[in-house]
Structures are given as structure tokens and as C-alpha cells.
């Protein structure tokens, strides 16, 4: 009789052997399956809800929600007009940064769960530096360029240092980076809140928030309408950064070292690659990218630091998993997540559909699409650790 471990091993083997085109087809099939299942859930929820005018009546059964209408509004909310496209691309830009942060660390054999904390502290550093330099900066384009450059640099440096911290704890004390980066997220949020509340709080606004940065330091929408809070050049910059990291990982010596430590640590050590340095470098680089996301969030979207940062750091983990931790794959994965986010907001505004049901639809698509890639990552992780022979482990248990 086939054991569970036999089936798991065959599943891992099958997923590890998939080509790039097969993985794309699998993801597309998963999206279709998620949409079909989501339609069933919308109908079921609509049959139990109470409404004065049902959207559908089938064989005498009334349904308050029309699944076709829900998905039509979802797509329209993501790409229906220039404002919606800007909202989708804005979210995509941030997810490219945090997704890349997780992917870089994963290539080095590490799980960076701390992109959210690096994002939060990077955004605070950008805000504080821009506000501090604003009175000293020249007016006009030169002053704007100086403030934006200094803000981006501050966000990257602080994010990188906060990423370096769990890397140092791992190489020095062999701590588990999953636990340390996860806990550092909470510490970052608390530290940022206290710093702003005690030293940088704007008393003229409710809640905990800094003053707004000068208009000259904000990134204008350019092609998109004013008020869309999205800058196309920044999106292009994010794509360039993704391309540069793809080049770094596939065409440079340090990229080869990162991937060799991540896939075959013993062989890498035998070949003279320093696992200690590579770990520190990977985690620092991951923090720099997450900090860049925080800087973009302040300069392009919010214009000030305030409590309640969006969860793009955690969402970036799912984006990276969906992309197979491939920098180029982050682009369609980030676009999918960005479209789901902006489209779901349109559903909530235009249709009388509960927010909880919208969250279920989002979760279904993410679950269906990301699960095969998650199992593939797990199989790859076990393979690199030399524990892929699950049958023996199962026998021992």
C-alpha cells in the first residue's frame, strides 16, 4: 500500500521536474480553477444573504450576488480607467521591492520574513531625512533631486542595516532567521511608533504621524492623472532594479556564490565560498531592497510616515513564492497581486458584497496559484538539505 510519504516524494519529484512553460501553464490553470470555485462560493453566499432585489433567480432560488458581475467589477477596478491602472501599478511597484527582498534571501538559502520591518524603518528614515534636509536644500528641481536622492539613500541604508541584524545573529549565534526576522517586524513597528510619537509627531493631525514632506520631494504621477499617487518612472525604476538583480544572480560571481550557498552549501564551502559573508551580504541586500520599497512608499504614495503601514512586506513573501523566487517572475506575480488589491476595493465600493467575501476570493486565487510553487519550494529545500528521502523519515516515525 502506498504510504503518504511515497505520495509526497512523488509529488515533490514531479514539481521539481517541471519546466518553466509547464509551471506557467499550471499557474494559469490554477487561476481558472480558483475563479470557478470562487463563483460557487459567491453563489452559495448569495443564496444565504438577505436582499430586497436579488441579482439572480435560478429554479426559484434567489441569489443576492452575481458572480459574473463580481468578477467584471474586479477586472474593471484593476484596469478599467487610468486611476485604477495607477492603483494597480502602485501596489505592484511596492510588491516588486518586498518580493525581491524575500527572493534574494531565499536564493542564499535564507527565509527573510522581516521585509515588513525593514520596509517600516526604511520609510521612517526617508521621512526624517527629507524633513531634516528640506530647510537646507536649494529650491526648484535641484532641491527636489537632492531630497529624493537623500531620502532613497536613507531608506536603503536603514533597511539594509535592519536586514544585516538577523544575518549577524545567524552567523554569530546560529539563530533561526525565520524567528528573528519575524520578531524584528514587531520590534520595528513598535520602535517606529515610539520615535514618531515622542520626537516627530505632527500635533495638527490625529493619530501618530510625521509632518508631510515638501511637495518638491514628492514623485509626481507624470503620465497618470494628478492624485493617482503613482509615478511611472518609479515603476520603470523598479523594473530596472528587478532586471539588475536577475543579472547579479545569473551573471556575476557574487550571484553564483549566493546561489551555490543556497543550493549546495557543502559544495560551496569546499569551493572556497564563505557562507558567513554570503549570509551577511544576502540579508543586507534583502534589507536594502525592502528599505527602497519604504522610501518609494513615502516619496510616491503617502508623503509622510504614519502608523498602520500596508502589509506589503508580508504580501511580498506570497508574491515571491508565486514567482518561484525568480526576479523576472516577480513582475507578473506582483501585477496579479496588485490587480487583486485594487480590484477588490472596487467590488467593495460598487457592489453590496461583504468585505469578508472579497477576502475569500483573493485568498482562493492566491492559495490555488501559490500552493504548487510552495510545495516545489519545500521539495527543493528538502533536496538541498539531503532529506528528500521522505520514505525513510516516514518509516522512522
For the chain, the structural domain boundaries read 87-337
The residue ranking higher by pLDDT, 367 or 387, is 367
If you average pLDDT over each of 259-263, 295-299, 306-310, which comes out highest? 295-299
Q: What is the per-residue pLDDT across 210-234, written as a single tens digit (0 to 9) for each? A: 999 999 999 887 778 877 889 999 9
The reported pLDDT for the residue numbered 42 is: 87
Q: Work out the average pLDDT over 111-124.
A: 95
Asked if residues 365 and 35 have their Cβ atoms less than 8 Å apart, the reply is: yes
If you average pLDDT over each of 141-155, 263-277, 335-349, which comes out highest? 141-155
DSSP 58: E
Residue 6 grid coordinates: 511515497
Structure pTM?
Answer: 0.86
Residue 20, pLDDT above cutoff 80: no
Residue 289, pLDDT above cutoff 70: yes
Cα dist. 193→24, 200, 365 in Å? 42, 10, 34
Number of residues in the chain: 397
Residue 122, pLDDT above cutoff 60: yes
The reported pLDDT for the residue numbered 394 is: 40
The reported pLDDT for the residue numbered 391 is: 43
In the chain, % of residues over pLDDT 90: 49
The reported pLDDT for the residue numbered 158 is: 97
3-state secondary structure 215-229: HHHCCCCCCCCCCCC
Q: Work out the average pLDDT over 319-348.
A: 87
The reported pLDDT for the residue numbered 370 is: 73
Dist CA 65 CA 351 (whole Å)? 9
Q: Which CATH architecture has domain 87-337?
A: Orthogonal Bundle (1.10)
Dist CA 87 CA 94 (whole Å)? 11
Sign of CA dihedral 207, 339, 86, 291: positive
User: How do beta strands 56-58 and 61-63 pair?
Assistant: antiparallel
Dist CA 66 CA 48 (whole Å)? 13
Dist CA 7 CA 14 (whole Å)? 10
Buried/exposed code over 322-349 (b: 16+ C-beta within 10 A; e: otherwise): bbbbbbebbbebbbbbbbbbbbbbbbee
The residue ranking higher by pLDDT, 253 or 262, is 253
Amino acid at each position: 500500500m502506498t504510504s503518504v510519504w511515497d505520495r509526497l516524494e512523488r509529488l515533490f519529484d514531479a514539481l521539481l521536474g517541471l519546466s518553466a512553460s509547464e509551471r506557467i501553464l499550471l499557474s494559469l490553470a490554477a487561476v481558472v480553477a480558483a475563479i470557478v470555485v470562487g463563483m460557487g462560493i459567491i453563489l452559495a453566499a448569495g443564496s444565504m444573504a438577505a436582499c430586497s432585489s436579488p441579482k439572480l433567480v435560478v429554479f426559484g432560488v434567489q441569489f443576492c450576488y452575481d458572480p459574473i458581475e463580481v468578477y467584471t467589477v474586479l477586472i474593471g477596478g484593476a484596469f478599467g480607467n487610468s486611476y485604477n491602472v495607477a492603483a494597480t501599478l502602485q501596489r505592484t511597484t511596492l510588491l516588486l521591492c518586498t518580493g525581491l527582498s524575500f527572493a534574494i534571501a531565499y536564493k542564499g538559502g535564507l527565509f527573510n520574513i522581516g521585509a515588513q520591518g525593514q520596509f517600516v524603518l526604511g520609510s521612517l528614515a526617508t521621512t526624517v531625512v527629507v524633513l531634516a534636509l528640506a530647510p537646507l536644500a536649494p529650491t526648484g528641481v535641484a532641491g527636489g533631486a537632492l531630497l529624493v536622492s537623500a531620502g532613497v539613500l536613507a531608506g536603503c541604508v536603514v533597511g539594509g542595516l535592519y536586514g544585516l541584524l538577523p544575518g549577524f545573529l545567524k552567523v554569530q549565534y546560529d539563530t533561526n532567521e525565520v524567528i528573528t526576522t519575524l520578531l524584528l517586524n514587531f520590534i520595528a513597528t513598535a520602535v517606529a511608533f515610539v520615535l514618531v510619537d515622542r520626537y516627530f509627531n505632527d500635533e495638527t493631525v490625529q493619530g501618530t504621524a510625521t509632518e508631510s514632506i515638501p511637495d518638491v520631494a514628492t514623485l509626481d504621477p507624470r503620465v497618470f492623472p494628478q492624485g493617482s499617487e503613482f509615478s511611472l518612472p518609479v515603476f520603470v525604476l523598479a523594473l530596472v532594479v528587478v532586471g539588475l538583480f536577475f543579472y547579479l544572480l545569473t551573471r556575476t560571481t557574487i550571484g553564483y556564490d549566493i546561489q551555490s550557498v543556497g543550493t549546495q552549501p557543502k559544495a560551496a564551502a569546499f569551493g572556497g565560498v564563505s557562507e558567513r559573508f554570503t549570509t551577511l551580504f544576502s540579508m543586507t541586500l534583502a534589507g536594502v531592497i525592502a528599505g527602497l520599497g519604504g522610501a518609494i512608499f513615502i516619496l510616491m504614495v503617502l508623503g509622510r510616515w504614519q502608523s498602520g503601514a500596508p502589509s506589503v512586506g508580508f504580501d511580498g513573501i506570497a508574491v515571491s513564492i508565486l514567482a518561484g523566487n525568480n526576479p523576472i517572475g516577480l513582475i507578473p506575480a506582483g501585477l496579479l497581486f496588485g490587480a487583486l488589491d485594487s480590484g477588490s476595493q472596487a467590488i467593495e465600493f460598487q457592489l453590496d458584497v461583504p468585505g469578508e467575501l472579497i477576502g475569500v476570493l483573493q485568498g482562493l486565487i492566491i492559495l490555488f496559484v501559490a500552493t504548487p510553487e510552495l510545495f516545489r519550494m519545500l521539495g527543493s529545500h528538502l533536496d538541498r538539505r539531503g532529506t528528500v528521502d521522505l520514505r525513510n523519515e516516514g518509516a522512522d516515525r
